[in-house]
């Protein structure tokens, strides 16, 4: 029986598909434009230092410190201790001069030496530049001058730190953040946070070694929130994770109460409103004070709740355009999902460029415009192309829809108020305490894992004997799928930050915005997806198409291969001695995309084929929970990058710098791929023949 509304059955088609499909394509494209556009800016905005253009009249100072660190043995435990330092005042004069600046304050007896240097053309290669000693003393004042709103004058400022001894010296270099209220105005080698470096003795430097050079920079665009990397990555993880968790609730609300049409409207309006709130949070003093930050957090909550309403409905509406058994259904979803990638591709060139080059909140506001465009197209086109699609299952749907809209706003406002009151900060401290406690950080995860395994065992036992094997494979694939996305989602956090801070993005004298690299994956999907479709089809005709577990294994192995290039890039940038080429980032995303295209067939479609009919909805929801865990876990792991880089967290390997962090994903991704490859014969026996 054809369940499509009559208006849909009789409408015109494009490429053999209802016009409504292409309307939903555009709506989804603009929603993904909005989501990925903001996501690419989130961590970079949270890390960025205060903009000198936004400083009020007066004299503003930061302390630049070089600290010598030595490893001490205290009762059998080796710890790093500060033994000497050089503290220098950096100054920003807005509209007035401060006069004298105190000279550097030296404590202890540092073994390192500091000198001012300037960049000149390399006599050996005029295309390149090199650092040479400057006429200024290292003790000369570092001063930025200008008027409120700009422009500001700041001559190129850099120091070389050398080691005249016969043994390595470990130093920490950065702007001092004495309290949480400290406003940093300067960056060190494009980083808002400190750097830990091992200095070789000068006598051991080879011609290929470059002395450690510290370039001092300022933010001339717009202020960020100067968070620590760990806090920014943790918020990113919660944001992206909850964007996958709340669609479970949103899907239930749509199915039982308001229908997909109204759910899409509520979700779209909330998403647009959330991005407007993000834009407003950067207006005037809100850009700098605690109220603005609380408003920003509330805006993120509005977007998450809106995504919960929106995300599960659009795909369902695509399916509602086609009757049961319609052979066009798979092709329709292929066309529809291209809208996701088109939105993800173009967003960085608009939102990213505005955010990095004009002002962060212009980028957030542009994301709001994208969602509003999508909603506008939907409202205008629905009466003609989607009439009758997604109607509510009950009569009072309008009242219930309005109620859910205001409940979502109230919940988000409450979340922002909790943040403002410090409640969320206390929860973060509790999590930090658990991570630092040697017993709790083992006991709690083990207890959770044991509980989950016990529930899965009981759930599998409830099924009929012929269904138990397929259900087991669903949980196995969920586990490895989560493993994949946990590493893949480093794209928006650790890889994104590395791209901004440690990558040479200059092309023909112009600096490519870091957010543009967030579009590489989506662009490659457009290029490679048709190629993979042909490959799978040809292999299928020859009865050589890889099984689901083999495709998962290939996806994980290719993902790990991509991280090999991040390890390489991280090794080149140890101690910020140099910046990595953009090629490393591009090649990383290439292999990650190849991995995604191998693994993507193992998603929700497999659940629909393998799950027992009575448990399809439940297992669909659990699959979304696994995506929540993967995204949250990815953010929490990215939060450890600085501790790993500084040696506070020890790993079995030691490449130095962020190479150690990225090597973690090489080992876990390729290792997980090999494990599921070994399990493939067993998994194929457990799978339904129709799902192989």
Average pLDDT (60-75) is 87
Give yes or no for residue 41 having a pLDDT over 50: yes
Query: Which of 10-24, 417-431, 456-470, 553-567 tops mean pLDDT?
Result: 553-567
CATH topology for 437-692 is Growth Hormone; Chain: A; (1.20.1250)
Q: What digits encode the pLDDT tens for the residues 520-551? A: 999 999 899 888 888 888 888 888 888 889 99
d(CA 430, CA 360): 31
Distances (CA, A) of 636 to 180, 235, 246, 479, 611: 21, 9, 19, 18, 31
Report DSSP state, residue 619.
H
* Dist CA 35 CA 44 (whole Å): 15
pLDDT value for 7:
45
1-48+236-423: CATH superfamily: MFS general substrate transporter like domains (1.20.1250.20)
Query: Does residue 171 or residue 179 have the better pLDDT?
Result: 171
In the predicted structure, residue 72 carries a pLDDT above the cut 50:
yes
pTM: 0.91
What confidence category does residue 322 fall into, taking pLDDT thresholds of 50, 70 and 90? confident
**Of 318-322, 332-336, 486-490, which one has max mean pLDDT?**
486-490
From CA 46, how far away is CA 383, in angstroms rounded? Answer: 42
pLDDT band of residue 601 (cuts 50, 70, 90) is low
Count of Cβ atoms closer than 10 Å to residue 531 Cβ: 10
Under 8 Å between Cβ of 49 and 287:
no
- Binned at pLDDT 50, 70 and 90, residue 567 comes out as very high
Q: Is the pLDDT of residue 373 over 60?
A: yes
Instruction: Inform me whether the pLDDT recorded for 2 exceeds 60.
Output: no
Q: Which residue has the higher pLDDT, 388 or 369?
A: 369
Are the folds of 1-48+236-423 and 437-692 the same? yes
The span from the CA of 341 to the CA of 496, in Å, is 18
Average pLDDT, the chain: 88
599 pLDDT more than 90:
no
Question: Would you kindly state where each structural domain of the chain is located, as residue ranges?
Answer: 1-48+236-423, 56-218, 437-692
Q: Measured between alpha carbons, how far is residue 466 from residues 459, 478, 617, 622 in Å?
A: 14, 20, 19, 21
What whole-number percentage of the chain has pLDDT above 90?
A: 53
Residue 44, CB-side half-sphere exposure with 13 Å CA sphere? 33
Pairwise pLDDT comparison (103 vs 568), residue with the higher score: 568
Residue 78 contacts residue 170 (beta carbons within 8 Å): no
């Amino acid at each position: 029986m054809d369940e499509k509304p009559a208006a849909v059955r009789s409408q015109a088609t494009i490429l053999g598909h209802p016009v409504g499909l292409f309307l939903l394509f555009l709506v989804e494209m603009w929603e993904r434009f909005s989501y990925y556009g903001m996501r690419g800016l989130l961590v970079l905005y949270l890390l960025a230092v205060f903009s000198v253009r936004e400083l009020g009249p007066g004299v503003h100072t930061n302390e630049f410190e070089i600290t010598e660190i030595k490893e001490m043995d205290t009762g059998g435990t080796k710890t790093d201790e500060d033994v000497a330092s050089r503290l220098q005042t950096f100054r920003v004069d807005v509209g007035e001069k401060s006069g004298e600046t105190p000279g550097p304050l030296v404590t202890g007896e540092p073994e390192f030496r500091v000198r001012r240097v300037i960049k000149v053309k390399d006599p050996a290669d005029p295309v390149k530049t090199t650092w040479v000693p400057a006429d200024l003393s290292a003790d000369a004042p570092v001063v930025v001058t200008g008027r409120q709103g700009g422009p500001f004058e700041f001559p190129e400022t850099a120091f070389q730190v050398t080691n005249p001894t016969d043994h390595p010296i470990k130093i920490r270099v950065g702007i001092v953040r004495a309290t949480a209220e400290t406003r940093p105005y300067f960056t060190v080698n494009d980083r808002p946070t400190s750097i830990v470096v091992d200095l070789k003795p000068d006598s051991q430097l080879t011609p290929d070694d470059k002395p450690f050079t510290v370039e001092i920079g300022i933010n001339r665009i717009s202020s960020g929130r100067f968070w620590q990397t760990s806090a920014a990555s943790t918020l990113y993880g919660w944001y992206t994770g909850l964007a996958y968790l709340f669609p479970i609730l949103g899907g239930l609300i749509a199915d039982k109460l308001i229908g997909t049409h109204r759910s899409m409207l509520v979700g779209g309006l909330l998403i647009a409103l959330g991005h407007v709130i993000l834009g407003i949070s950067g207006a005037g003093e809100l850009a700098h004070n605690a109220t603005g930050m609380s408003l920003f957090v509330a805006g993120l909550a509005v977007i998450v709740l809106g995504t919960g309403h929106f995300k599960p409905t659009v795909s369902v509406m695509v399916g509602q355009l086609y009757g049961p058994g319609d052979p066009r259904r798979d092709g329709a979803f292929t066309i529809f999902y291209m809208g996701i990638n088109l939105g993800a591709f173009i967003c960085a060139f608009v939102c990213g460029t505005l955010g990095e080059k004009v002002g962060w909140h212009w980028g957030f506001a542009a994301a709001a415009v994208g969602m509003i465009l999508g909603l506008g197209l939907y409202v205008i086109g629905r009466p003609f192309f989607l009439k009758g699609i997604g109607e509510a299952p009950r009569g009072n749907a309008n009242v219930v829809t309005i109620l859910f809209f205001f409940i979502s706003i109230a919940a988000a406002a409450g979340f922002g108020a909790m943040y403002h009151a410090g409640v969320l900060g206390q929860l973060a401290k509790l999590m930090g305490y658990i991570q630092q406690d040697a017993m709790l950080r083992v006991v709690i995860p083990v207890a959770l894992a044991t509980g989950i395994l016990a529930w899965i065992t009981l759930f599998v036992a409830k099924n009929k004997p012929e269904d138990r094997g397929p259900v087991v494979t669903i949980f196995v694939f969920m586990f490895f799928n989560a493993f994949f996305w946990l590493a893949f989602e480093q794209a928006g956090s650790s890889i994104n930050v590395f791209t901004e801070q440690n990558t040479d993005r200059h092309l023909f004298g112009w600096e490519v915005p870091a957010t543009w690299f967030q579009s590489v994956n989506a662009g490659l999907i457009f290029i490679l997806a048709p190629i993979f479709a042909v490959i799978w089809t040809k292999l299928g005709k020859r009865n050589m198409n890889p099984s689901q577990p083999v495709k998962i294994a290939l996806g994980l192995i290719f993902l790990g291969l991509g991280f090999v290039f991040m390890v390489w890039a991280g090794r080149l940038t140890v101690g910020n001695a140099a910046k990595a080429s953009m090629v490393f980032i591009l090649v990383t995303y290439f292999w990650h995309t190849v991995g995604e295209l191998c693994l993507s067939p193992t998603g929700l479609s497999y659940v629909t084929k393998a799950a027992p009919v009575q448990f399809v909805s439940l297992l669909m929801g659990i699959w979304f929970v696994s995506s929540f865990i993967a995204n949250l876990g990815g953010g929490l792991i990215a939060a450890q990058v600085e501790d790993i880089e500084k040696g506070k967290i020890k790993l079995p390997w030691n490449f130095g710098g962020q190479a150690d962090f990225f090597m973690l994903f090489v080992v876990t991704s390729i290792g997980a791929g090999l494990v599921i490859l070994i399990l493939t014969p067993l998994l194929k026996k457990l799978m339904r023949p129709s799902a192989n």
